[in-house]
Structure 1
């Protein structure tokens, strides 16, 4: 199993991305909100993101599970080559950052 420990890349939106902006802004708003993160709301938004877009590795294969955060023209993500379900937050949010190259597709 491969779990990316994360990456941050510049984002150059393609036509059609504008319709997804409110979804990503909801995720940013949750992360930036004062106080404790509403984990249930954040997980619901991440689930919607994962159902709306795919992360694709350079070899053309979609990753099985991912967290994607887009703020302005920067995209941050973590991914796994296997579905992780409820294990995802615990397994992906520890450790350092390792760069990977992926393509965002809608």
Structure 2
């Protein structure tokens, strides 16, 4: 497989993951993704931002999230985010530390 084809296949797989999380599984909360998998939609948006920045494209965290979510975070939260239990919030603190803050 040549590099361009590989890149196109990887991009298609990413778009499928994005669609799955943004359209098909809006019921799955970011906190549940982070607690289970160590990443969430916000991580994907951050990785999008980092990839753009590495290529000299300056976009903010909010711009990256809007590009990934297809809406503002306020809109996403109003439409899909539910209240997390204290137990889930405690799990999240650990998962975020292990997968985001201590990895940086």
| TM-score normalised by the chain length of structure 1 | 0.35
Task: State TM-score, norm by structure 2.
Answer: 0.35
| Structure with bigger RCO (C-alpha 8 Å, 6+ apart) | 1
Structure having the larger proportion of residues in helix: 2
Of structures 1 and 2, the larger Rg is shown by: 2
Structure ranking higher in strand proportion: 1
